[in-house]
Copies of this chain bind each other. A is one copy, B any other.
Amino acid sequence: MTASSSCEPAQKSGCTNCIMRGLGLCTVLIDLGWEQPYSAEREAIPQKKSPFAARRTIFHQNETLAGVPVICEGWATSVMKLSNGRRQILSILIPGELVTCRLLFERQLHLSIDAVTRGSYRMFDLTQLRAAMTVSPGIFDKLLSAYNDERNRADHLIADLGRRTATGRIARLLLDIWNRLDKSGKVEGNSIEFPLRQTHIADATGLTNVYVSKVINTFRNDSLVEFSDRSLKILDIERLRQLAM
């Protein structure tokens, strides 16, 4: 049986590298054969997954959540929307990632979660997670170190926005996503899935979509990267790293 149109191919699922699976918090799914390729059995698994459509806001700024959402399939962004109508992307969420560890300790979201592609998330119950944390020091440490990673990325983003030029910021964004996908073995040949629009890059780097287009074109003309069919190929990673300093 091939995958139906309502279901992503197993490839795109984040389960393999999902933080919750790493914590053993997903045993039910493992037992049920979740990691097997797409199959009738798999579709029979109780679907607690919530789908989301592309380009929709999944959770609104200031919404209150009773759990911690994890992105199962598809890409999303966490966005801060300012009163002047401008938007700043705080982080790009790829499959298998927790939306934000902050929700482990606070029910209110201070930012909006917007979908890039269509996909799905699974909501992990907060009290259940907190209980797991107090019982198991391993889980506690891993979740907190995930929080530290989040914080680390935020700090680097601050430095990028405050002290780097457009070229550097964009190069760093591309390399950052590259590295994250690389860690979970999602680099194929020298290219990765890359569903972000230039608008997303602009909102993530504090630039204009117009200017992003111009910078990306210089990258293309210099044979650094190639975009095609929602994927990114890096042709000269060394020179790109140079631009990222």
Contacts and interface: CB of A to CB of B under 8 A. Distances in A.
Interface of A: 80, 82-84, 86-88, 90, 102, 104-106, 110-111, 141, 144-145, 147-148, 150-152, 154-159, 161-164, 205-206, 245
Contacts of A206: 161-163
B148 A106 contact: yes
Given A145-B105, A154-B155, A245 B162 contact: no
Copies of this chain per assembly: 2
Contacts of A245: 82-84
26 contacts: A80-B158, A80-B159, A82-B163, A82-B164, A82-B245, A83-B245, A84-B245, A88-B158, A90-B158, A90-B159, A102-B151, A102-B152, A104-B144, A105-B141, A105-B144, A105-B145, A105-B147, A105-B148, A106-B145, A111-B155, A154-B155, A157-B158, A158-B161, A161-B162, A162-B205, A162-B206
A87 B163 contact: yes
Contacts of A105: 141, 144-145, 147-148
Contact of A102 (B86, B88, B106, B148): B148
A23 to B, nearest CB: 15
Contact of A158 (B84, B86, B141, B158): B158
A66 B88 CA distance: 36
Contact of A152 (B82, B110, B147): B110
A148 B156 CA distance: 18
A158 B204 CA distance: 10
A86 to B, nearest CB: 4
B163 A88 contact: yes
A242 to B, nearest CB: 12
